[in-house]
Structure 1
Amino acid sequence: MAERLAPKAVHQPLPVARWLGGLRRIAFRSAAILGLLAIWEAAPRLGLVDSTFLPPFSEVAVAWWQLAADGQLLDNTVASLGRSLTGFGLAVVVAVPLGLLIGWYKPVAELLGPLLEVFRNTAALALLPVFVLLLGIGETSKVSIVLYACVWPILLNTISAVRTVDPTLLKLARSLDLSPVRLFQKVILPAAAPTVFTGIRLAGAVSILVLVAAEMVGAKAGLGYLVNSAQFNFAIPQMYAGIVTISVIGVGFNQILVALERKFTSWRREQP
């Protein structure tokens, strides 16, 4: 009687090994940041820089905790995030459809092209006084300046994405007698998605940077206001605490957009 063949054992990594591997990856990715923080802590204490203007990181961390404990950090962060996300979201809603339209229909591109060239070469912060004069120093002007600044990276990347779709794919899709709607759905959008998301990620960074600058003029809340107020009152550790918070928010926002990009472009990883 033939012996029954035993199935080959599949060696799965032990939970401890997986945990150690993940820990090593985190440590490797964090090495540069930890090195920077170590230099930041050591340079003022060793007299390499004036600690009055660049306090050690530990003092900044203490100041950050104090701002968080008394609620100032949360209030200003919520104010900034509300403005930034509103302007950014409106920019996505406006720029993506408009970019698809301009990129696909040549008459629309010829009509709007000269106007877009004029405005896209005008820096958002250069128009800040105009937004303040027309819309006041309240929330509307700040959301509008973020909207204006975020539109351009999304719009230009979307136009480029549509215009650079592989012509072979388009010929193949037309040979299958796909309707224009199906062509857009099955070919244009999937092929353009990675470049569109590149523009969206760029706009995410712009939404934070432009807003912080705008909040330094006439605002009564927000991280830009916090940094500017701390600098004016010579509360240097609090100033750096606000700057660090802005950086952390920017990194976190980018990671969220990266995760969304992976979700909506998962078909690229599924290809053989």
Structure 2
Amino acid sequence: MANIGGTITLNKKQSQKVVLLPFVSLKKLFKSFAAIFVLLAVWEIAPRLGFVDRTFLPPFSEVVQAWWQLLLSGELFSHFKASLFRSLTGFVISLLLAIPLGLLVGWYKPLSEILTPLLEIFRNTAALALLPVFVLILGIGETSKIAIIIYACSWPILLNTISGVKHVDPLLIKSAKSMGLSPVRLFQKVILPASVPTIFTGIRLAGASSILVLVAAEMVGAKAGLGYLINYAQYNFQVSNMYAGIITISALGLLFNWTLVKLEGHFTTWKATQGE
């Protein structure tokens, strides 16, 4: 590269790199989504060729048309909004409850000894198995749906937070203590930052749980939501609408995960610095 008379010129090799850059990006993008393209192609072709009954699995293009009609009518947005509110509310409440409790249990040994037997009992009880209990106690309204999401999300966050605190490198703790840090400062400066990656693993698992449990919760006594849409479409044999709801809730899960990955990268920038 040369700067002559205020203009920048590229040599032949650099020019080739600049030209090839978009093609490299497209190639990388195609590799990333190749499996999805193949799945959608099979989904489109198999019903049309009679490999599967299109009554039960319509071509992907028909599902897209049904999705677009639901979007234009405003029905899809109302269901999406209801599901997003429930999942976000339950997810955020579980964060506010599980992270502080996990930090306490992981750091304070007497509390851990008291609560561990109880935690072991409930961690092995599936959230969906307790759905009828939540409905009986809290009714079929919003409270029971949000409560079951809180329950499902709390366990991965709680257990990963406890694990993150308990498995901080002992050498880091000894080094910090040798520098005269108080217990509070030790927790703030060493324990908490070191346990953040493990905590975010639990948060991402909880994000997936909030979507999975949401679908089942909305199939019981709901009048709106993507789970309700899927269930209603199935009972009324609106198969394309059912698949449109399934695709939308998958997109919601991807959006959740993408957001959490970005947040994790923001809060764990020190890991990238260490790797340099």
For residue 272 of structure 2, what is the aligned residue in structure 1? Answer: 269
Matched, 1:106 2:109: yes
Residues 255 and 12 of structure 1, relative CA distance in 2, 3 Å threshold: farther
* 1:30 CA drift (Å): 1.0
Following the alignment from structure 1 to structure 2, what is the Cα–Cα distance between the partners of residues 13 and 109? Answer: 61
Following the alignment from structure 2 to structure 1, what is the Cα–Cα distance between the partners of residues 197 and 182? Answer: 23
For residue 39 of structure 2, what is the aligned residue in structure 1? Answer: 36
* 1:186 CA drift (Å): 1.4
Provide the secondary structure at the position in 2 that maps to 1:134: helix
Q: Give the TM-score taking structure 1 as reference length.
A: 0.93
Unaligned runs of 5+ in 2: 1-9
| Letter in structure 2 aligned against 1:43 | A
Percent identity between the two aligned chains: 65
For residue 184 of structure 1, what is the aligned residue in structure 2? Answer: 187
For residue 3 of structure 1, what is the aligned residue in structure 2? Answer: none
Following the alignment from structure 2 to structure 1, what is the Cα–Cα distance between the partners of residues 15 and 104? Answer: 50
Match of 1:142 among 140, 145, 149: 145
Per-residue Cα deviation, 1:174-222 (whole angstroms, up to 9, x for no partner): 1011111211121111111111000000000000010111100110000
Residues 110 and 48 of structure 1, relative CA distance in 2, 3 Å threshold: same
For residue 60 of structure 1, what is the aligned residue in structure 2? Answer: 63
Give the CA RMSD over aligned residues.
Answer: 1.6
Q: Give the TM-score taking structure 2 as reference length.
A: 0.92
For residue 208 of structure 1, what is the aligned residue in structure 2? Answer: 211
Following the alignment from structure 1 to structure 2, what is the Cα–Cα distance between the partners of residues 75 and 40? Answer: 27
Equivalence map 1:192-231=2 (5 Å): 192-231=195-234
Unaligned runs of 5+ in 1: 1-8
Provide the secondary structure at the position in 2 that maps to 1:213: helix
* 1:114 CA drift (Å): 1.4
For residue 161 of structure 2, what is the aligned residue in structure 1? Answer: 158
For residue 251 of structure 2, what is the aligned residue in structure 1? Answer: 248
For residue 29 of structure 2, what is the aligned residue in structure 1? Answer: 26
* 1:111 CA drift (Å): 1.1
Which range moved further: 133-142 or 255-264?
A: 133-142
Following the alignment from structure 1 to structure 2, what is the Cα–Cα distance between the partners of residues 13 and 57? Answer: 40
Provide the secondary structure at the position in 2 that maps to 1:55: coil
Match of 2:84 among 77, 81, 85: 81
Match of 2:48 among 45, 49, 52: 45
Per-residue Cα deviation, 1:74-131 (whole angstroms, up to 9, x for no partner): 0000000000000000111111111111011110001111111221111111111111
For residue 263 of structure 2, what is the aligned residue in structure 1? Answer: 260
Following the alignment from structure 1 to structure 2, what is the Cα–Cα distance between the partners of residues 20 and 129? Answer: 54
* 1:228 CA drift (Å): 0.1
